[in-house]
Chains A and B, each alone.
Chain A
Amino acid sequence: MNPTATPARRQLHPPPVPASPFPYHPGSLLSAQDLTLDCVSHILARARCRILAKRRVALLFYESSTRTRTSFELAAKGLGADTTLVSSLSSSIEKGETLKDTGLTLRALGAEAIILRHNSSGAAWLLESETRLPVLNAGDGMHEHPTQALLDLRTMLAHLRPGTETLTPETLAGVTVTIVGDILHSRVARSNMVLLPRLGARVLLCGPKELLPELAAQAGPGIAVERDFNAALHQSQAVMMLRIQAERLAGQQLDLEEYKANYQLHGPRLAAHAPTAIVLHPGPIIRGLEVTAGVADGPQSVILEQVRNGVAIRMAVVERALTASQQGGRA
């Protein structure tokens, strides 16, 4: 990491690193790290009815989205809440309004929770600290996408641990999940990397150096880097394929043919190395690049199940956002 640094010879006690700088709203969901396992169990199991009639939820989207936006919207509406969508291309954001001002405006208009998708890592923290409303992080830059990790978990449990109700640190013991591709730019990978090891799963990261720096293995416990895709598949019960985020590559060159040769998940590779593993993808899929159409549509694919689970998970977190303060304390 830092081989040139001289080790401290003296016994020095430098200033400690502070914990979270402000108390989050108990209904906020900024990082998958924020949730206790009890809370995750609760979200995964939640039964719902139209209990949020006429409550106001704002969807604030600075980036395009199909699945996340629609499922959050359907989830909120399914609970009876009123939703309003503000997107960067059809609002005063285009005129230069800051995230802080946009958030304060939504709060003044009566929003009781804000669902935020933003292209900058950490934007959800900024919005939460400025508005003190419950903020649901629907993806912040290259950082996290906690509801995606929750719906991925629900999907994996249904196949690998059916019937599980209460999650424990051993629920996924013995399970290896391989995440493949553009880890560097992936908020889905980061949320899964913090959530899955807490349930006992082992996470293997797989991809070329340009998209997967070696230091990713230091991101937390239970995470390792395996550059050989076939070797990783061989150990896996679940494989999560990621899209190459060309919009975040920022000038880096990547040989796509070489990438496909090494990291594309195609039928023969899956049959040879992981014939029983489930195949996940957070979408959007670029067919023919990271996965072939045959795999995406094949029997091992659970991609559309993930999408369906997205609505259920988002209903649970929207409900949590709007009821947490009434219950007092973080559910």
Chain B
Amino acid sequence: MTALVIRGGHLIDPAAGIDSLKDVLLKDGRVAEIAAPGKLKPADGAEVLDATGLTVAPGLIDMHVHLREPGQGYKETIATGTAAAAAGGFTSAAAMPNTAPVNDSPEVTRWMLAPERGAVIRVFPIAAATRGSKGETINDFAALKSAGAVAVSDDGLPILKDSVMRETLAAAARVGLSVIQHAEDTRLTQVGGKNASMNLGPTSFRLGLRGWPNEAESGIVERDIRLVSELRDARAHLHVAHTSTAAALNAVRQARRNGLRVTCEVAPHHFLLTDEHVGFYDTNAKMCPPLRAAADRDAMIEAILDGVVDAIATDHAPHAVHEKEVEFENAPNGITGLETAFGLCLHWLHKEWKMPLGRVLSLLSAQPAALLNLKGRGTLAVGSFADVVIFDPRAEWTYNARQTKSKSRNTPFDGWKMQGKVRWTISEGRIAYKSEV
């Protein structure tokens, strides 16, 4: 494999404690050497990337995406989803199992990982916790882990039964996997066969839409934390997906004070938008969990700045145009996010709200790597995987959803200002994305 030299860039690697001008040599898919500018030994035949004026950082890791394969290739494929991820600076994406069929078997997990899928970055399947994600029968976690699964979840659906969730946490802990819970008490969000389609509050009342109460999320998180505390000796790890309510965050904060292994992620839309962004029935503002009240959105921002939130994850959920061009309550939940997450985080968290760049990068790389136990990722220490993002932190640009590399363009961030332009994304030493400028 050829070597790559990244020359003249400002290396920020929070996990390795580096924040200075460095040249980096990538070789055989790994970081081979880091040296002061101009001090790298010339490598024969190495391609040189001029990163003068740019920032070099560990490739971003999105621990929550829907790549739609197998089964829903009209929304997204592993090839198009990973191309969008690479354009967004991501070198790793953890793919949720709500595919068709559900990824509840080593066969599906291996199928997703096969080279024929055409992934341009590393995909890490998250396997279903229960058979068919029906919340009844627990899958063989050891077999799924050896096939490549990095966590278990029934995402899109909650594991409602106490006994099943307890056994899932215990069984996952035995094989060293975390359990990622989609916290939604469907007994409160699906009433009489009708689904709630936005946050419950004055806006849902005004728009005449069925509302999703905050307790439907926080109640499940509180129940899960109780189960984790009962399994304290087993070192069970609960990770709360797409946290959207202040009450759920408070429960996580309290659990951590009590020494439990409870972590959480927040999606950019939940720390930027409120239920008022549904506007006039904009189906690109419909997702699950829904956009919340301003007080909850503000609590997400506070928790990110205060370090309670462990990771930023997109919940990238592509849907075809025709699926979203329907009545609001009939539209599927979800928005795309891989191409906008980094630009939004840099614009809002870093530029507007003054979060240090290293901490923003850590939320998008080192921290999710640790949560999923991805060894050798989320850092550029010598010997790590050569997963790198090179970006211009000062560049401002406007997102145009029509130019997306995803198959879908269901985003509320079309036309939004972004900060920080990705110039190259390098996955295990290969250039996965290169900007046109």
Which A residues are closer than 8 A to B by beta carbons?
Answer: 1-2, 4-10, 12-15, 17-18, 20-21, 98-100, 118, 120-123, 125-126, 130, 140-144, 184, 187, 190, 213, 215-216, 218-220, 249-252
Contacts and interface: CB of A to CB of B under 8 A. Distances in A.
A5 B296 contact: yes
B397 interface: no
Contacts of A7: 295, 298
Given A17-B274, A21-B282, A126-B281, A216 B207 contact: no
B353 to A, nearest CB: 6
Nearest to A122: B281
B246 A4 contact: yes
A144 B305 CA distance: 41
Contacts of A143: 207-209
A215 B201 contact: yes
A215 B201 CA distance: 7
A15 B325 contact: no
Interface of B: 191-194, 200-202, 205-210, 214, 218, 245-247, 250, 272-274, 276-277, 279-282, 293-299, 301-302, 305, 322, 325-330, 348, 352-353, 416
Contact of B193 (A18, A21, A142, A250): A250
Nearest to B248: A4
B103 to A, nearest CB: 30
A120 to B, nearest CB: 4
A1 B282 contact: no
Contacts, number: 137
Contact of B326 (A15, A17, A98): A98
A122 B285 CA distance: 14
Contact of A213 (B205, B207, B280, B281): B205
Given A250-B194, A251-B191, A99 B293 contact: no
A125 B209 CA distance: 14
B279 A18 contact: yes
- Secondary structure class of chain A's binding surface, majority of residues: loop
A122 B327 contact: yes
Nearest first, the 4 closest Cβ-Cβ pairs linking A and B are A251-B192, A122-B281, A250-B192, A143-B208
Contacts of A99: 326-327
B208 A8 contact: no
Nearest to B292: A2
Contacts of B298: 5-8, 12, 14
A156 to B, nearest CB: 22
B250 A6 contact: yes
Contacts of A118: 327
Given A126-B327, A250-B193, A121 B301 contact: no
Nearest to A19: B279
Contacts of B327: 99, 118, 120-123, 126
Contacts of B250: 4, 6
A122 B302 contact: no
Contacts of B280: 20-21, 122, 125
Nearest to B330: A120
Contacts of A14: 272, 274, 294, 297-298, 301, 348
A142 to B, nearest CB: 3
A12 B279 contact: no
Nearest to A193: B206
Contacts of A8: 298, 301-302
A219 B202 contact: yes
Nearest to B246: A5
Nearest to A143: B208
